[in-house]
Amino acid sequence: MENLSKYGRRYDRAFKEDAVALVASGRAQREVARDLAIPVGSLNNWVRLARSGQPLPQSGNLTSETQEQRELRRLRQENEYLRRQREILKKALGILSAEMPRNDTP
């Protein structure tokens, strides 16, 4: 996925493509960048390149992830996103049920 160098983090092409695909699926760039712990500016550049039809640059000397590793990473990201959504719904349900009057008649 990433490689640390004197220039900062380096991401392989597959990681960049997966990040761009998350944005293309409708998720906000800031949300995707936060979830993947990458700079918003980097993600914005990758999305801009992808939309213009240019290939995403490959960072040097990175080992590419296997298909299973990419799928596992994507599923973990989706799982975390769904957990956050569930927590929001649980809070909303608690608020709404607290506001509803109780019907104590049998």
CA distance 15 to 37: 12
Whether residue 19 contacts residue 32, with contact meaning beta carbons closer than 8 Å, is answered with yes
2-99: which CATH number, 1.10.10.10, 3.30.1490.20, 3.30.70.580, 1.10.1740.10? 1.10.10.10
Percent of the chain's residues with pLDDT above 90: 37
Q: What is the pLDDT of residues 20-41, one digit of tens each?
A: 999 999 999 999 999 888 899 9
Nearest Cα to Cα of residue 85 among 33, 39, 38, 27:
27
pTM of the shown model: 0.50
Positive or negative CA dihedral for 48, 54, 57, 58?
positive
Nearest Cα to Cα of residue 2 among 21, 23, 16, 17:
16
Ordered by start, the domain boundaries in the chain are 2-99
Comparing 3 with 65, the larger pLDDT belongs to 65
pLDDT band at 101, cuts 50/70/90?
A: confident
Least confident of 23-27, 63-67, 72-76, 78-82: 63-67
Question: Residue 83: what pLDDT?
Answer: 95
Percent of the chain's residues with pLDDT above 70: 81
Which two three-digit tokens encode residue 42? 């980097």
